[in-house]
């Protein structure tokens, strides 16, 4: 028997089942890409297929209809019976969608991972933004059954419809995240939230952020964390833009989760969140690193931040040795930037600045790298102004109740 995958021609989409792989049209680009069917449902008499595009991030997973499927070349799952594979060439009767309870109970139970693979929230409304979620988040089921979940943009409480939200807004007095404002410059502020003191807010924030972060498990216990919420101010109040969380007690990590909400992405806010995490580490006289794994977007932001911070140090380095060569150790770079040593080495390698010369590793900054760096720096950029930060590190003792 050959192990080569066999592709079948299907006459009807009714023959498809979960686990099939076929070419599917991507809504965003209109291009056809191979995808796996993760789930099938019938709504208004029409079958819909939840697909995951191979080699693409899960945020592109989506419900599609028959017109988006190319039935000319379908691979059936391995566990699919041979009889059914053969039938793929013939006409299959359309499955009867109404099942008795006993029939339903005979269906294989889905694992938590399988259920979490499917986006469960269609839309959220947050302040003036209506946002399409990227990933699964464990909001209560009755909320997910609604076409849209309405969030109070101040306390992040979630309700089922606009009427409930209007009723809540009459009572909700918050106009900023419920913590201390530790930074303000122009319209940008940061608020520090203690996950124990503002537990409900922190839990609501975790639920909201899970919609846009795939890798992180949700922290039901928010007590050990601090949350730094970035806001932009207008006449109505301080509107949430993004946040990062940080463990109160951690030797290595200066950041657990970081998120810029989609309406505010690509505007330099992500960089600002990362920069503040290092400025706080500097106040603590520590070096730090983000908790792994980083999301694809998270890694991009970090790589760009690290390169910039490290090149700043290398280019401004004033100390020269007797041969007029700049001397700086990896340790010095790490101390000056608060970026931990592993991330410094990773970045120097990425930039191809580490060279092996006369049986020593040396850092060699090439002129094109410098030119590129200075060009990027000349573009307007949001930066943390340390003089606008009012924050002193607290001692979180693990033996005491925090
Ligand atoms: Zn509220």
- pLDDT by residue (tens digit) across 169-183? 999 999 999 999 999
Check whether residue 219 and residue 132 sit in a common domain: yes
In a domain, 342, yes or no: yes
Ligand 1 center–CA 233 separation, angstroms? 17
pLDDT at 399: 58
pLDDT at 196 over 80: yes
**Angle (CA) 295 298 301, round 5°:** 155
pLDDT at 107: 45
Ligand 1 center–CA 166 separation, angstroms? 10
pLDDT at 63 over 90: yes
Active site residues: 291
Residue 314 maps to which CATH number? 1.10.10.10
Ligand 1 center–CA 224 separation, angstroms? 24
pLDDT at 104: 42
Q: DSSP state, 14?
A: G
Single residue among 114, 136, 162 that ends a domain in this structure: 114
pLDDT tens per residue, range 141-151 = 999 999 999 99
pLDDT at 276 over 70: yes
Check whether residue 146 and residue 246 sit in a common domain: yes
pLDDT at 202: 97
pLDDT at 364: 80
Position 96 confidence tier, pLDDT thresholds 50, 70, 90: very low
Residue 227 maps to which CATH number? 3.40.630.30
Check whether residue 35 and residue 168 sit in a common domain: no
Total Cβ atoms within 10 A of residue 382: 15
In a domain, 201, yes or no: yes
In a domain, 372, yes or no: yes
Ligand 1 center–CA 38 separation, angstroms? 36
Q: How far is CA 92 from CA 11, 46, 64, 89, 95, in A?
A: 9, 17, 21, 9, 8
Q: Which residue has the higher pLDDT, 109 or 154?
A: 154
3-state helix, strand, coil split of the chain in percent (to 5) is 30, 25, 45
pLDDT at 6: 82
In a domain, 91, yes or no: yes
Q: DSSP state, 12?
A: -
Single residue among 79, 114, 149 that ends a domain in this structure: 114
In a domain, 47, yes or no: yes
Check whether residue 167 and residue 242 sit in a common domain: yes
**363-368 LR contacts (CB < 8 Å, sep 24+):** 363/314, 363/328, 365/311, 365/314, 365/315
pLDDT tens per residue, range 224-259 = 999 999 999 999 999 999 999 999 999 899 999 999
Kindly state the average pLDDT of the residues 34-43. Answer: 94
Kindly state the average pLDDT of the residues 335-346. Answer: 95
pLDDT at 102: 46
pLDDT at 113 over 70: no
pLDDT at 40 over 60: yes
Kindly state the average pLDDT of the residues 44-56. Answer: 93
pLDDT tens per residue, range 356-387 = 778 877 788 878 888 888 888 888 889 999 99
Single residue among 89, 114, 139 that ends a domain in this structure: 114
Check whether residue 103 and residue 167 sit in a common domain: no
Check whether residue 253 and residue 149 sit in a common domain: yes
Kindly state the average pLDDT of the residues 43-65. Answer: 93
User: CA-CA distance, 213 to 137, in Å (whole number)?
Assistant: 9
Ligand 1 center–CA 120 separation, angstroms? 23
pLDDT tens per residue, range 79-93 = 765 545 555 444 443
In a domain, 344, yes or no: yes
Our count of domains for the chain comes to 3
Q: DSSP state, 249?
A: S
Mean pLDDT, all residues of the chain: 87
Ligand 1 center–CA 168 separation, angstroms? 6
User: CA-CA distance, 333 to 102, in Å (whole number)?
Assistant: 66
Q: Which residue has the higher pLDDT, 133 or 219?
A: 133
Ligand 1 center–CA 344 separation, angstroms? 42
Position 315 confidence tier, pLDDT thresholds 50, 70, 90: confident
Check whether residue 247 and residue 360 sit in a common domain: no
Kindly state the average pLDDT of the residues 114-120. Answer: 77
Residue 106 maps to which CATH number? 2.30.30.140
In a domain, 287, yes or no: no
pLDDT at 359: 81
pLDDT at 115: 60
Q: Residue 379 burial (CB < 10 Å; 0-12/13-18/19+)?
A: exposed
pLDDT at 186: 96
Check whether residue 148 and residue 260 sit in a common domain: yes
* Domain enclosing residue 95, as ranges: 13-114
pLDDT at 92: 40
pLDDT at 124 over 90: yes
Check whether residue 244 and residue 199 sit in a common domain: yes
Check whether residue 60 and residue 110 sit in a common domain: yes
């Amino acid at each position: 028997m050959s192990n080569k995958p066999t592709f079948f021609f299907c006459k009807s989409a009714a023959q498809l089942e979960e686990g099939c792989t076929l070419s599917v049209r991507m809504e965003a680009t209109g291009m056809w890409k191979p995808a796996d069917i993760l789930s099938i449902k019938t709504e208004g008499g029409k079958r819909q297929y939840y697909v995951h595009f191979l080699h693409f991030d899960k945020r592109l997973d989506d419900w599609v209809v028959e017109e988006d499927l190319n039935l000319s070349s379908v691979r059936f799952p391995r566990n699919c019976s041979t009889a059914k594979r053969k039938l793929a060439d013939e006409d299959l009767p359309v499955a009867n969608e109404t099942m008795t309870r006993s029939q339903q109970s005979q269906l294989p139970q889905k694992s938590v991972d399988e259920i979490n693979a499917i986006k469960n929230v269609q839309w959220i409304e947050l302040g003036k933004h209506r946002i399409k979620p990227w990933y699964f988040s464990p909001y209560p089921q009755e909320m997910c059954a609604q076409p849209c979940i309405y969030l109070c943009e101040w306390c992040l409480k979630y309700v089922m419809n606009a009427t409930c939200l209007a009723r809540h807004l009459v009572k909700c007095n918050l106009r900023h995240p419920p913590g201390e404002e530790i930074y303000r410059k122009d319209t940008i502020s940061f608020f520090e939230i203690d996950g124990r003191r503002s537990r409900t807010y922190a839990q609501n924030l975790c639920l909201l952020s899970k919609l846009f972060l795939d890798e992180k498990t949700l922290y039901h216990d928010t007590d050990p964390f601090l949350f730094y919420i970035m806001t932009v101010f207008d006449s109505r109040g301080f509107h949430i833009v993004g946040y990062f969380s940080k463990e109160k007690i951690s030797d290595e990590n200066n950041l657990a989760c970081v998120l810029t909400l989609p309406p505010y992405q690509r505007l330099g806010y992500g960089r600002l969140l990362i920069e503040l995490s290092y400025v706080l580490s500097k106040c603590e006289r520590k070096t730090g690193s983000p908790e792994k794994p980083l999301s694809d977007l998270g890694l991009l932001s970090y790589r760009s931040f690290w390169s910039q911070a490290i090149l700043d140090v290398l280019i401004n380095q004033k100390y020269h040795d007797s041969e007029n060569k700049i001397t700086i150790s990896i340790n010095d770079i790490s101390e000056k930037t608060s970026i931990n040593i592993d991330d410094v080495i990773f970045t120097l390698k990425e930039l191809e600045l580490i060279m092996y010369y006369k049986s020593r590793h040396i850092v060699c900054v090439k002129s094109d790298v410098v030119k590129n760096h200075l060009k990027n720096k000349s573009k307007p950029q949001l930066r943390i102004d340390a003089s606008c930060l009012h924050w002193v590190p607290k001692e979180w003792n693990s033996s005491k109740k925090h």
